[in-house]
Amino acid sequence: MAGYYGFDDYFDMPGGDDFVDVTELFVAGARDMESEEILLMDGFTLMDAMSAFEIGEPRLDSGMILAEQRRPPFDPLTPLLPEEVCWILDRSFACEMEWHAGKTLSQSVFTLLFVHHLPDINPEYLPPVENEDPARPQWLITVVMRAAILGLLKCCDLAWRELSKNRVNDVEDWQGEKCDVSLLEGINAEIISRILDSACDWLRRSHFTEEQVAALCDRLLLRKASPTHAHFQSNAAIALALLHKIRTSKQITIPAKSPAALAMDPYIARRLPNFMPIRVTELPTLEKTWEALEGFLEYWQEVGKLVTSPSLMKWEVLYASVCAEVSLTHFTDLWSNLFFDRNLALGAHPTAWLVDHFFLETIGFSYGAITEALERSAPQPQLVSTQDVIERRISKLMVPRVRSNWFNPPRRRRHLMKDVLQWHMLYDMLLKDVEQHRSSDDLTARILKAIPEAAQLWRLSACREVILSGFQQELYAPEERPIAYWYLTRVLDVHLACIEDLLPIVPPDTSAYRELSYEAQHLAALQMISSTLVALTAGHIASPWRRITLNFLRRYKWLFKPEFDHLPPAEPIPDLLSFPHTLKGLLLDKFYSPTASLQLAQDILSELAESTYSWLGYWEADRREYLRKLAGCCEDLKRIAPPNLRELPSFDLPSLKWRTDVHQWMPVLSSENP
């Protein structure tokens, strides 16, 4: 075709158009390759290949369908036995719990294919079946299965509505992409409840055995007992009773070739419009599903008890003992909604109630007694107008602080980092305010001294939580651990000194006094453990000092904000230069015994675990469990800790492992199992 000048010249391809069909060459080469194997030219990487596609390109995300992934067409009207329907209903609970645990709907709930075939199983649109198998009547699908799927989607809709109120973050906390699949948004929950009741009535009038009817009805009623804001505590109790009955009954299994197995398609995301990369995940076992659901329902009961126990102290204890181990995002929004909505705490208490409980539970004086003391000690009447400012600042801090107990761990850490500065600013404001007052009696002097210390206690508590959360989230490199434990001991030093100053001031007949007395011993034990771990982990430090300094500035940047420069010193000052001197003094102390220090901490914690905490009510047992677990970690560390620092060089440092599944911030022995 050379020398031809015509219309086709305008469409000439680079390199000419003398092409040769090489399809057979590629086919022949592919025969010798394994599945998922890839060949790349020199200088051409997989990243180069992927960058040629648009991000989110469906052809790239969908992937190749392997032979073992091909499935026969799904017929939603395929007759099923009652046991097969029960098995599918059990899988529906597994799908729902996986969504609550963070999977996408396309990976969990939408893998149940009946979700996509609700119009096909509507009995109003289907003619009666002639000569059907009595063991597999069609109404098991059109009535029972349909009611359960409607209930599943409505439960997801109710949760989706709560989660979409901007109190949690999509993708970070939960996956809210619906993939254009209806969650029955336009159908009232009461209608679904009546449909579930009708399905149970159908079953009770059926010819099935009593055991089969009970198994199906229990699962339908469990679906119906989804807790709501109005009756979540009683509904949770009903659901727990039903769950216990299901778990103690005979476990239902199906044969490998049962048509019920075709109701689950883990590859359904290929056919759904979604913006997330497709990842096939396996559903948990039935036992793990029931465990997750049981924890879900038990925590609903915990929330019910929190609502009826308006106490900042109890809520903090609950987080320390329970909430840190709960990952269900639904409770983040639930508690945010219940705790403070429409400018009312728990739906009934104004902001002044929150401020009153802040002072009463922290320093043992009511807000009324504090305002009276400020009025008595004011040098001039016009200087007493700080009450509104105090209320606004405290409520602005306490509402997010309580809500943060239900954040995911990274976001709670970020919140507490910001909180440290805000509490110190409140401390500065309260300190300047009380300095303008002159006490005329001993009670007023005690109250004035205690007011700013309340903010100080909360700031130090936030500092401690930030440092410990670094271990929980595995943020610290090995050489950062001794520095983290060192700074924790300094924070605990200041915290203990603050408590020591407050105890003679706080009324001894108050829960605040009893809580401060507990904290004095608890924090002393933590300080002993932290000091011991500084010595035991010091061998990790091997980097140059400049590298250590840069890591310290990065890790503790929340303490180096310029706003601190205009406030009183926020003790303890993050002075890394004092760390080498402190470490050297500790390692040269010939009388210091890591084993004895751990033993003393264990004795304190064990004694505290046997004490009573009546002011905590229902959560008294949770505190005891936390103390026993911490004492058990001390017992384990004693087995390998050296009796004195002369033997520290022979200490087996690699035997210490930080495993959050065993303890959130304490190391365990490498051979120890959870």
For residue 631, give both structure tokens: 């004492």
One-letter amino acid for residue 49 of the chain: A
Report the 10 Å Cβ neighbour count for 61.
17
Share of the chain above pLDDT 90, in %: 51
Res 1 pLDDT > 50: no
What pLDDT does 438 receive? Answer: 85
Res 175 pLDDT > 50: yes
Res 334 pLDDT > 70: no
Residue 360 binned pLDDT confidence (cut-offs 50, 70, 90)? very high
What pLDDT does 323 receive? Answer: 47
Q: Do strands 344-345 and 340-341 pair parallel, antiparallel, or not at all (unpaired)?
A: antiparallel
Exposed / middle / buried, residue 11 (Cβ in 10 Å: 0-12, 13-18, 19+): exposed
For residue 454, give both structure tokens: 């309340």
Measured distance CA(175)–CA(281) in Å, rounded = 15
Residue 673 binned pLDDT confidence (cut-offs 50, 70, 90)? very low
What pLDDT does 351 receive? Answer: 77
Measured distance CA(222)–CA(214) in Å, rounded = 12
One-letter amino acid for residue 15 of the chain: G
- Greater pLDDT, 203 or 132: 203
What pLDDT does 22 receive? Answer: 82
CA 179 to chain centroid: 25
43: left (phi over 0), alpha (psi -120 to 50) or beta: left
Domain ranges of the chain: 7-69, 82-300, 311-669
Residue 11 binned pLDDT confidence (cut-offs 50, 70, 90)? very low
CA dihedral defined by 263, 269, 273, 277, rounded to 10 degrees?
160
pTM over 0.85, yes/no: no
What pLDDT does 490 receive? Answer: 97
Span of 4-13, 119-128, 515-524 with lowest mean pLDDT: 4-13
Measured distance CA(115)–CA(95) in Å, rounded = 12
Whole-number average pLDDT of the chain: 85
User: For 26-53, what is each residue's pLDDT tens digit?
Assistant: 888 888 888 777 777 777 777 766 665 5
Quick one: which of 219, 277, 279 has its CA closest to 246? 219
Confirm if 579 and 538 have CB atoms less than 8 A apart. Answer: no
What is 109-155 written as a DSSP string?
GGGBGGGGGTGGG-GGGSPPPSS--TTS-THIIIIIIHHHHHHHHHH
- Greater pLDDT, 194 or 63: 194
What pLDDT does 63 receive? Answer: 54
320-327 mean pLDDT: 52
Share of the chain above pLDDT 70, in %: 85
- Greater pLDDT, 234 or 104: 104
